[in-house]
Chain A
């Protein structure tokens, strides 16, 4: 590893759920190169450590932001920052969703929980360049209504179809209940001319990608974003190995055609 983090100031902080916040960041001095949807940064919490976090907004979609779920030492530290605080950022790392390959085709986004974070800049980009794409569908699943991130914003997206479903409804929830894949029936897309973009917990990714394939979406047009331990993001620490893939270099976004056989091996 070589790169040193670049100081970024928290210019806005938006609580999303009980354990998740979005931090909008601006460089204190020199800026990093622009991020593309799907890429991630190594984000440093002073005295705690550094973790990989996807960009939930990129420079081209209104400024760099990260949406972080507090699950341990480093993510706790980052979620606890206040406006004005400084964090360190290295990046951009990893490949992108390659949304541009979907020009002229229908777009189908499937997100589970915080998996919506890395998909948000893709959705915003697709909606911004709406004419370049066919129909745009966004299917979102969460455990409970309280686990939905960017909830207000979702309603404002001018998609062809937006579906939101939860596993466990709460009082006052009038939306769908059940797994995210059951929304597929209502999405409007031509399977043989569709690009799908999927992120969420691994079981959800498998289920969604399999169903998409069953619906007739070509497996190499189903792009899934995977998570593995990453210490360096520069291809040197060895932690993100996933069979033949060094995920920080050739991922985190992988075609389902490549991911499926690997995900079918236990404990790979």
Chain B
């Protein structure tokens, strides 16, 4: 935080100036826009492309755009994509290798200079998701340098939530509609009789510098109060919730639950939930050769724990049943992610609920597992996940 941290107000012209200034800096500005009946993330040339006047109606397996009278730009919750499409792209070349005439092999890393991104309209849940991927991909013994470079150059503008969706449950994952630290600028959209404007909070030196160059005014108490109230009440309007229990313990004690059979009978193991999830990070690699046979490339692409090959070993997959694969996904999100990365793997964005073709709802599954565990005599025999690695 800087000395210029007093909240400011931008009107719509100010928002236009914000995008224009980022574009002028040579940044690739990415934000929400309406396309093909959904709010997608795309490169924006101007703030006019934001989804002014659009909201969404969400339910398990259901997504509909609805028009809004108030003309708000950020009154929608997560769409089908998340920022990982940019920071951790679905396909990436890692390195290539060439066979020399002498029969040696030369390896060449693929280290392009990434675009310098500005993300406009990052939801607080997605800001947490970015922080989680930071930990996974750059916080361990080895760093994913491609991710690290893209991430280090990215300028993050949060849009706090005033209109949570019916599938949102960030509050029950420890988050909320207000932004955690980690942003450069945070916007809270206000539309009332005093006009359409954005309360702006500064989260970094760079954010402060940018704000100074935009037409803005110091926030008036009324705008601040309206914005705060809108975010506060959003907290209480979450469409869904995870049960308020120790989720790690619940998962660890539920490895043999009946419910996995139930969900497996509905789950298509399509992997949609993992593709849309903003924290899911798993990848696989492929070798791509050219026709000469003297040039080969190593590519990384998103993978899903729902894929049968994911756990392939000579002799067959470790997780051949749908039951074990759904269990892997859910227990990883809510339990073993803590063991591996010291954080939850779910931020409650609701994407996996919306984009599941079978309408499987993570909150409903966890609730059912909790009911099953509470219903069954507490059997202390299943402590597998309580053991700690060395």
Closest A residue to B286 by CB, please name it: A49
Give the CA-CA distance A257 to B314 in the complex, in Å. Answer: 26
| Interface presence of A169 (CB below 8 A) | no
Chain A binding surface SS class: loop
- A88 and B313 in contact (CB under 8 A), knowing A2-B143, A243-B336? no
Q: A7-B107, A261-B383 are in contact. Are A228 and B318 (CB under 8 A)?
A: yes
Report A228-255 CB contacts with B as 1/0, cut-off 8 Å: 1101101111110101111001100011
Q: Are A262 and B387 within 8 A (Cβ)?
A: yes
- What per-residue 1/0 map shows which CB atoms of A30-53 lie under 8 Å from chain B? 000000000000001011111000
Question: Which residues 63-102 of A have a CB within 8 angstroms of B?
Answer: 71-72, 84-88, 95
Q: Which A residues lie within 8 Å of B390 (CB)? A: 95, 250, 254-255, 258
CA distance A254 to B388 in the complex (A): 11
Q: Does B140 contact A (CB under 8 A)?
A: yes
* Chain A 156-181 near chain B by CB (<8 Å), digits 1 or 0: 00000000000000000000000000
Q: Restricting to B306-347, which residues have a CB under 8 Å from any CB of A?
A: 310-314, 318-321, 323-324, 328, 331-332, 335-336, 339-340
Contact for A231 among B256, B285, B296, CB less than 8 A: B285
B249 CB to closest chain A CB (Å) equals: 13
Task: Spot the interface stretch: B4-12, B45-53, B96-104, B121-129.
Answer: B96-104
Shortest distance from the beta carbon of B312 to any chain A beta carbon, whole Å: 5
Interface residues on A, range: 35 or more
Return the CB mask of B159-193 against A: 1 if under 8 Å, else 0: 00000000000000000000000000000000000
Q: Are the CB atoms of B303 and A241 closer together than 8 Å?
A: no
B175 vs chain A, min Cβ distance (A):
23
Pair A243/B108 contact, Cβ less than 8 Å: no
State whether A71 touches B314 (Cβ < 8 A).
Answer: yes
Assess whether B105 is in contact with A246, with CB atoms less than 8 Å apart: no
User: Which one of B103, B106, B318, B388 has the greatest number of beta carbons of chain A within 10 Å?
Assistant: B318
State whether A237 touches B283 (Cβ < 8 A): yes
B255: shortest Cβ distance to chain A, in Å?
5
Q: Is the CB of A2 within 8 A of B385?
A: no
- With both chains docked as a complex, state the minimum distance between the C-beta of B89 and any C-beta of chain A, in angstroms: 13
B331 to nearest A CB, angstroms?
8
Contact A238 B283 (CB under 8 A): yes
Q: C-beta contact mask, B346-390 vs A, less than 8 Å → 1, else 0?
A: 000000000000000000000000000000000000011101111
Closest to A93 in B: B142
A30 to chain B, nearest CB (A): 11
The answer on a CB contact under 8 Å between B313 and A227 is yes
Q: Which residues does chain B contribute within 8 Å of A261, judged by CB atoms?
A: 383-384, 387
Residues from chain B with a CB closer than 8 A to the CB of A5 are 95, 97, 107
Q: Kindly state the interface size class of chain B when it binds its partner.
A: 35 or more
| Among candidates A6, A95, A241, A257, residue contacting B107 with C-beta atoms closer than 8 Å | A6
Residues in B whose Cβ lies below 8 Å from that of A243: 331, 336, 384-385
| Cβ of A18 under 8 Å from chain B | no
- Look across to chain B and name the residue whose beta carbon is closest to the beta carbon of A74: B287
Q: Which one of B97, B145, B320 contacts A44 once the chains associate, using CB atoms below 8 Å? A: B97
Residues of A within 8 A of B311 (CB): 228-229, 239
Cβ-based interface call for B83 (8 A): no
Contact A46 B389, beta carbon cutoff 8 Å: no
The reply to whether B310 and A239 contact each other, CB–CB distance below 8 Å, is yes
In chain A, what residue has the closest Cβ to B110?
A4
Q: Chain B contacts of A86 at CB under 8 A?
A: 103-105
Say yes or no: A244-B300 contact (C-beta < 8 A), given A2-B145, A236-B142: no
The CA of A261 and the CA of B252, in the complex, are separated in Å by 11
Per-position contact with B for A1-41: 1 when CB-CB < 8 Å, else 0? Answer: 11111110000000000000000000010000000000000
Bound form: Cα–Cα A35–B27 in Å: 44
In the assembled complex, the Cα of A47 lies from the Cα of B98 at a distance in Å of 10
A-B complex: 4 closest residue pairs judged by Cβ atoms:
A238-B282, A244-B339, A267-B324, A234-B142
Question: Can you spell out 10 A-B residue pairs with CB atoms less than 8 angstroms apart?
Answer: A5-B97, A7-B107, A48-B287, A84-B103, A227-B313, A229-B310, A234-B140, A234-B142, A244-B340, A249-B140
Q: A234-B142, A265-B255 are in contact. List 15 more A-B contacts (CB 8 A).
A: A2-B143, A4-B107, A7-B106, A47-B293, A88-B97, A95-B390, A234-B141, A239-B282, A241-B328, A243-B331, A243-B385, A244-B387, A244-B388, A262-B387, A268-B255
